[in-house]
Structure 1
């Protein structure tokens, strides 16, 4: 009696999972409603899940860029970078602070802990800046960088005029005052940075001999120019029934007005700016140059995507906006794409999507071949996309992008996801094949339910065991965690939902689809052939146990040789169709010489038959996300 009770207590058909299976069979309408809701929610999640090529490996960081014109790197370090860095070290949840000082510019990077929200971090930095602003030089104004990450450069373009009708200064003005503002309106764009060309400015070239002749000190020149372009507002006066505003007009709108600025008055005679200096319109000091196809300088634009946005959607929005703007461009001006991440994203996602479809087709064919029952194969075919869509629901809610790692996790899980369906269907076939053809529906229903309850609990827990196999990945930290966690998350979600579907949806689908004549296993020629091959091998292995163990051990050891010779890479290879060539010059190279080197290298690379475009950059773009010195060339 004790043995019988002991046996019954371990009867899988009496377990909690078996009760869930029975409940699902008895409440088919609720299961169907749940399936439909899962399909709709999953489809919405697929449409809303951000797409990118690879996971974002960037730390949570905030960049402070401070322009300190005309100052050497040492002065910038002492007066700007050091005070900012020491202040930012005291911020909560700060992991690291890095400062870089260059001629006229300071960059301070504040790296926060991984669990910190980016906008919380930015607000803390802004608070700290408000406290230290008074300790910085008057003409050193710190600015917060864009709310973007290190992979935010999703699209770059060049503004070109091959007709020669417009110079670089005009193209840069077009970029800064037209294209830049228009593209910034695209949803998801954090910043549009300019690089190359010439920024116009008024330049005052003081003649020391004239200063001496007029007895005018230099500081009066700077003070007069600084105070010249101002308007002073007054009150209002009433004239008749009208109210008139009083103001002193003083904004400088052209070069002639600047030349007439009074810098000094001696004995009632004014000395104007043109008396002591040449006033001209010239280019601002450049810290970046771009060149296209070895044909000469152009003006470039960099579209920086806001953190967490859908890269593909942002790029498509930028392209649409550029198409809208092209008809309004001056004659001869063209916009050429020089970097576009969209093909890489689409290629990676399409490749994995095709892989998922192929796996689904293979699963369907294998199921049909071994079961010889097309409708039974539909059980596995239907549950497969349900599990994938369910994984996308959690992905979307968690903010995980669809990339090669997250989709790779789903691809890995697909093979195991269909195991439960196939095993349960095969067990039902085994029971139904021995029943009479004219057996009543109730008997067939009970047989299918019993078959599901027999193997369902074991399959459920086996899938759960596979589900937790990737949990050690979550113990990683830093960039390793950010790279591999999407794969572990999606694989875990897909397997977890597959285990739930195996005890809820699969039994219901079996009742609906397993109809008609069910052949015995021996009637399948494929099964007969496999059994005929397997039985002798099994007998031989059991008769030569130690030999089998020794051979297996030798095979395992032999695998260490190719494993040891196999190289390793942190990132998977991405065949983007683009190469980045980054030579560096000696520090202190002039921008003229660096531009010459850039043009030479571009002219050498462009004739290569496989090369379509060569776009090179010297120095940095006008953005906090690019701290490159002039000695760095990027082609």
Structure 2
């Protein structure tokens, strides 16, 4: 088989050269379109299900949320195993699929299964899927540099302006906010007053919920004009909450301010984000979507930041605290320089030891063609250019040259033997 292939190639050498040129051309195109990252993505093919039920202990979360979800999600096809973690007020389910499963197919199957498992969960509990990213998807971290803004105002600016703008960038799965305070109205109830007025906690909750909504009316026409009737009942201040009536006792309304203290405060936090020991900071984490080009995503996010910065209040700016693009460029440049150096050194050694320019060129020309063809395979298997893949290519240069030298040496040997046979035949004929 090998002899036939060699003889076929020798008889059609121009076709072989044409095929080599085509492979090299497609390889150059593959190099330009190949995804770039600093580190390979070795994370598992997983879908995260996050469930929040504030105020509950880890044991209650485990019994009423985590256990029903784990048992319900185990029946999904192509699942390797299901992991779970329960903590105060939160439950995390990690559904690990087989490596050859499309991640978006896996997410759709998990959503399909959750629609049936939701019936077994407590009222008001809604599981949600985590972002369609991977374990190495955190490509950029940033904080907000401000002057004269407190942590609550910074977090509001991050959640209601910056986050929504950056989430529209192509390739971004999520902008995860961190730091600061999330504002909320807190009602601190006096238990002695509850007993005195014979009011329950549920009565206060119902009063707030029933008075914090809008109701629709109808449309009517008057003097050729159409009017829409509605009731606007959203709570907008502490005073409005304090004046809500919980119940009536002997025609006297019992208001929330009579039995509780209402204040504007922050949601309870499990930790803080400190920047360089200079105090707390507010910012976000850019989570890259699965299968995207990290270098291009970071470039698009930075361009969007320049656009968003124009709408920030005076004295507010972005401060990038982690940027993987620097690591990506340094890693790629380092490996690229090594590849160039190896090609040059190997070429010089081949020319010096063979002392035959045609043989040396036939060996050296294999290096760029093989490297270009390897990038075609990287794109075919959706493998990015990173430290591991490029280092493997660099190590393979020696194997490429060795094969060329062995073939050249064998060709010289066969030619010399054939030449000697021809000389002996000539001598005999003389």
TM-score computed with the length of structure 2 as normaliser: 0.88
- For 1:49 and 1:332, the matched residues in 2 are separated by 40
Q: Say if 2:77 is the partner of 1:92.
A: yes
Q: Structure 2 matches for 1:435-454, cutoff 5 A?
A: none
Shift, 1:307, TM fit: 1.6
Q: Say if 2:228 is the partner of 1:245.
A: yes
The match for 1:23 is 12
Shift, 1:158, TM fit: 2.2
Q: Structure 2 matches for 1:452-463, cutoff 5 A?
A: none
Match of 1:295 among 278, 287, 292: 278
Alignment check: 8 A CA contact 1:290 1:300 kept: no
The match for 1:117 is 102
Indicate how the Cα distance of structure 1 residues 387 and 278 shifts in structure 2: closer, same or farther if over 3 A, else same. Answer: same
The match for 1:73 is 58
Q: Over residues 193-233 of structure 1, what are the superposed CA-to-partner deviations in whole Å (9 max), with x where a residue is unaligned?
A: 11221000011122334434444332210111122211112
What SS does the aligned partner of 2:263 have? strand
Q: Say if 2:326 is the partner of 1:337.
A: no
- For 1:276 and 1:153, the matched residues in 2 are separated by 47
Shift, 1:101, TM fit: 1.2
The match for 2:93 is 108
- For 1:344 and 1:146, the matched residues in 2 are separated by 24
Shift, 1:173, TM fit: 1.0
Indicate how the Cα distance of structure 1 residues 427 and 98 shifts in structure 2: closer, same or farther if over 3 A, else same. Answer: closer
Indicate how the Cα distance of structure 1 residues 431 and 258 shifts in structure 2: closer, same or farther if over 3 A, else same. Answer: same
What SS does the aligned partner of 1:121 have? helix
Q: Structure 2 matches for 1:369-384, cutoff 5 A?
A: 369-372=352-355, 377-384=360-367
What SS does the aligned partner of 1:155 have? strand
- For 1:66 and 1:176, the matched residues in 2 are separated by 20
Indicate how the Cα distance of structure 1 residues 231 and 362 shifts in structure 2: closer, same or farther if over 3 A, else same. Answer: same
Indicate how the Cα distance of structure 1 residues 99 and 431 shifts in structure 2: closer, same or farther if over 3 A, else same. Answer: closer
The match for 1:131 is 116
Q: Say if 2:391 is the partner of 1:408.
A: yes
Match of 1:141 among 107, 121, 126: 126
What SS does the aligned partner of 1:222 have? helix
Q: Structure 2 matches for 1:538-553, cutoff 5 A?
A: none
How large is the RMSD of aligned CA atoms in angstroms? 2.7
- For 1:293 and 1:409, the matched residues in 2 are separated by 38
Greater shift in the superposed pair: 365-374 or 172-181: 365-374
Greater shift in the superposed pair: 166-175 or 298-307: 298-307
Q: Say if 2:163 is the partner of 1:180.
A: yes
Q: Say if 2:46 is the partner of 1:57.
A: no
Shift, 1:341, TM fit: 2.1
Q: Say if 2:29 is the partner of 1:44.
A: yes
Alignment check: 8 A CA contact 1:195 1:288 kept: no
Q: Give ranges in structure 2 of 5+ residues lacking alignment.
A: 420-430
Q: Give ranges in structure 1 of 5+ residues lacking alignment.
A: 1-9, 435-449, 452-635
What SS does the aligned partner of 1:230 have? coil
Match of 1:326 among 309, 320, 337: 309
Indicate how the Cα distance of structure 1 residues 21 and 420 shifts in structure 2: closer, same or farther if over 3 A, else same. Answer: farther
Q: Structure 2 matches for 1:202-281, cutoff 5 A?
A: 202-281=185-264
Shift, 1:156, TM fit: 1.4
- For 2:5 and 2:44, the matched residues in 1 are separated by 45
